[in-house]
Structure 1
Amino acid sequence: MAEASGVRVAWADLPRTVRAAVEDVLGSPVVAAVTQPGGFSPGSADRVRTADGRRAFVKAVAGSTNVHSPILHRREIAVTAAMPPDAPVPRLLGSHDDGDWVALVLSDVEGRHPHLPWRADELEAVRVALEALAATPLTDGLAALSGTGEGFADDFAGWRRLCDEPDPGLDPWAARHLDRLAETAARAEAALGGDELVHGDARADNLLVRPDGSVVVVDWPWATLGAGWFDRLALLVNVGLNDPDADVEGLLARWLPHVPADDVDAVLAGLGAYFADVARRPDPPGLPTVRAFQRAQGAMVLRWLERRWSIRSHA
């Protein structure tokens, strides 16, 4: 299994000023904190309990550790604050930003990450949650989000960069089909057009299953507006990544029966472009495990696309 896993900072290791700001939001001192697994942020991620019994989820990161991470936290603050109250997401209780450290204080969700490999009941619950999110009524803040295709346009151009900058470590099948992959990925931006809420990073570590079986979707820095089905397709990549024998094509047929095959191919090719291009770069500061995870995702996407094209050529 390929679980998303980074290097965390513990609550006790946060600067005193950051911990004090969080306690001001909560109105009581934090007396217990449990670091949570999963994800790739080089900052903290803790379930905390205060002296008066209040619970919350806190995550904080410093620009001095990774210059991009505070930007993502600031985006998540804005997106989470704009969510309607009945959306299956954590509530934003408050935040802190001193120019270096950025912290979010969110409602604590009683739940756990889905089992891996995926179980059918939990997978179905996630599908339901993602469909509901796509149909979320747009507040003014959400309506101002950028387009999904626009947001991914540079990432999906990775095959073009690889045409200009050959990589000897590129997957052999991808190297043989580089022009076709680039042409296919070029259609992904248009395929993702729409006005539905898109999470943009649907995978097991960004999902929590409650005791009643319902699902809460967490980590929102990549939210955009576009084709809501993108999140369900991205989730199937996570399913196949964690179980090579999973029938992702059968799930796709049931989940997205009205999405044209060419649009699916375009987005898969776009995702493959991103993973193949970014995974050849050095590890980002504070994120020593992310490239290996990206390479694993890229390999899964390419094998899936290879099967789809092989089946079609023999039809």
Structure 2
Amino acid sequence: MAQATGTRIGWRDLPTGVRQRIEGIVGGPVVAAVSQTGGFSPGTADRVVTADGRRAFVKAVTPALNERSAELAREEARISAALPEHAPTPRVLGSFDDGDWVVLVLEDVEGVPPRTPWVESEIDAAVAALAELADALTPAPLPVPAVTDHLAEGFGGWRRLAADPPADLDPWAAAHLPALIAAAEHGLAALSDGDTLAHCDIRADNILVRPDGRLVIVDWPWAATAPPWLDRVLLALNIIVHGGDPERVIADLDRRNVVGVMAGFAGFFRDISRLPPPPSLPSVRSFQRWQADELLPWLRRHL
């Protein structure tokens, strides 16, 4: 299994002035910081503790590490600040952008990622959390792009693969490229109607399970307006690639729409995995290729 990870800096790598501003938000000098693994940003992802026991989760990145990561951090700070308090998301304690560093300080949620392969109880809890999110975030509480703006190019992956097929393209996929192209086009069209603020990056490493079993959805840079069912399909996608029963999530959804979105993401992952990795994100292409490879058996059964 490929891991989603960047080459992260840590709390002590931040400039002194940036750390001091963060400590002003948290409410005291930080005496301990534990870096968190997972995700693709090269910036910090630290659980910090102050001298008097206050806790927070700190995310900080500079364009010098990766320009796109800084852009996404700015968007995440904007979106996170607009999420309603009753939604199952972390509270924002503060943020700032000094031009060199983009910083977001969140509550430190007590929890751990769901187990993978996925277990039924956590699948059901995730479905419940996504339903709660859809209720809280319809209509979207702030202006964001439509998800089709994010995905239009990516969902053309199978068409690009057909025009320039790699030597190691899966034989079944190579024999069914017209069907995969058509399914991805249908999936993109199905996503064009919706005013829910969808997370758009639902994966096990973007979810925390609290001790009471309730789930919190974290990491919001990709949020966009979409149909309320999109995040459920992305949950099912993650269950497919990690193992578990995706039918607990998608059994009541329009199957043609589900297959179309799965085909679109599979083509996107397989096509983009051919590119060189971006700066400070060495594993992203292998992770994308792994997801494409894991989706193909499901598509063979359902296309």
CA distance in 1, matches of 2:175, 2:67: 37
2:166 maps to which residue? Answer: 167
Summarize deviations over 1:231-255 as a string: whole Å, max 9, x none: 1111122112122xx343x324xx4
2:5 maps to which residue? Answer: 5
Instruction: Give structure 1 stretches of 5+ with no counterpart.
Output: 310-315
The alignment covers a number of residue pairs equal to 302
CA distance in 1, matches of 2:169, 2:98: 42
1:313 maps to which residue? Answer: none
Summarize deviations over 1:132-179 as a string: whole Å, max 9, x none: 11121457x734122222321111111122233332232222121112
Q: CA RMSD in A?
A: 1.7
Shift of 1:33: 0.6
> So what's the TM-score if we normalise by structure 1?
0.91
Summarize deviations over 1:268-294 as a string: whole Å, max 9, x none: 111011101111111111001111111
Alpha carbons of 1:43 and 1:143: their partners in 2 closer, same or farther (altered >3 Å)?
Answer: closer
1:266 maps to which residue? Answer: 260
Shift of 1:3: 4.2
1:215 maps to which residue? Answer: 215
Shift of 1:5: 2.9
Other structure's SS at 1:194 match: coil
Summarize deviations over 1:258-315 as a string: whole Å, max 9, x none: x222111211111011101111111111001111111111112222111113xxxxxx
- The residue type paired with residue 148 of structure 2 is G
2:271 maps to which residue? Answer: 277
Runs (4+) of structure 1 exceeding 4 A deviation are none
Summarize deviations over 1:170-219 as a string: whole Å, max 9, x none: 22221211122112211222211212221111111000000111000000
- The residue type paired with residue 271 of structure 2 is D
- The residue type paired with residue 87 of structure 2 is A
1:306 maps to which residue? Answer: 300
- The residue type paired with residue 47 of structure 2 is R
Other structure's SS at 1:187 match: helix
Other structure's SS at 1:18 match: helix
Would you say 1:235 and 2:232 are equivalent positions?
no
CA distance in 2, matches of 1:267, 1:53: 45
- The residue type paired with residue 266 of structure 1 is G
8 Å contact kept, 1:18–1:96: no
8 Å contact kept, 1:150–1:189: no
1:81 maps to which residue? Answer: 81
8 Å contact kept, 1:229–1:256: no
Instruction: Give structure 2 stretches of 5+ with no counterpart.
Output: none
Other structure's SS at 1:197 match: strand
